[in-house]
Amino acid sequence: MGKLSNARRYYIKASEVGGNWALPIYYEGFLYEKSARACKFDFETKMVYQLAMDTYKKAVSMDPSLTQARDRIGAVSTSVPTQEDYFFRGYKSGQVLPISGDCFSWIGKSVTVP
């Protein structure tokens, strides 16, 4: 798992060096998606899919022609938490939820409840 964290660091650095190059940000999102696929499908995993989707959206905002990021947004959109998922856990819109759990300890990020 430590290798995913290192890969993310290199992707972020490549984007910075490349003048906000969007492709490495797309690959960062793919790391989150890959990590989510490797774990049981529960609420925490859905939040990681949300993080992947948010990262893909960031890549598209940086480069609207990045079709592979658009494709991945569509692919993961059915795996993100629903409003009901948040509601039944007592979360409110705007609340920031840290991503944790054994599978995701390397991520160290959070998602915001829509």
Rg of the chain over Cα atoms, rounded to whole angstroms, equals 14
Structure pTM? 0.94
User: Whole-angstrom Cα distance, residue 59 to residue 108?
Assistant: 20
Average predicted confidence (pLDDT) for the chain: 96
> Ramachandran region of residue 113, left (φ > 0), alpha (ψ -120 to 50) or beta?
beta
Given this structure, which CATH class describes domain 2-112? mainly alpha
Q: What is the pLDDT of residues 15-58, one digit of tens each?
A: 999 999 999 999 999 999 999 999 999 999 999 999 999 999 99
pLDDT category at 2 given cuts 50, 70, 90 is low
Query: Domain residue spans in the chain?
Result: 2-112
Q: Do residues 29 and 69 touch, judged by C-beta distance below 8 A?
A: yes
